[in-house]
Amino acid sequence: MNKKETAINNVELAIKTILVKNGYSNSDISFYDQKASNPYRYLKVGYWRRLDTKAQQDLGRLITAELTDFDDDHGWLFSYIVKKS
């Protein structure tokens, strides 16, 4: 995971603002990219928490997909693809 974990554009700043208004902790919200060959930025909240329905609705088209993965030790892990700015 690339260390670019802070919001770097207006879309990510808007996402962060919406999530904080929905009760998520500012320190739990991070953004990252995986590789130079992958053009997407991702949103992660806390330890891969799933966003509640209201937060997902409020974010609307700022996130384009919910990604899931299952970890034997931690269960389901959630992240989100961020709309390109």
Task: Give 22-64 pLDDT, tens digit per residue.
Answer: 999 999 999 998 776 778 899 999 999 999 999 999 999 999 9
Give me the residues paired with residue 31 across strands.
43
Q: Is residue 59 assigned to a domain?
A: yes
Assign 20 a pLDDT band (cuts: 50, 70, 90): very high
Q: Is residue 24 assigned to a domain?
A: yes
Q: What is the per-residue pLDDT for 4?
A: 58
Question: Which tokens is 75 given?
Answer: 């269960």
Q: Is residue 5 assigned to a domain?
A: no
Q: Is residue 3 assigned to a domain?
A: no
Q: Is 74 helix (H, G, I), strand (E, B) or coil?
A: coil
Q: Is residue 72 assigned to a domain?
A: yes
Question: What is the maximum alpha-carbon separation in the chain?
Answer: 36
Q: What is the per-residue pLDDT for 69?
A: 96
Number of structural domains in the chain: 1
Q: What is the per-residue pLDDT for 1?
A: 47
Q: Average of pLDDT values for 5-16?
A: 90
Q: Is residue 1 assigned to a domain?
A: no
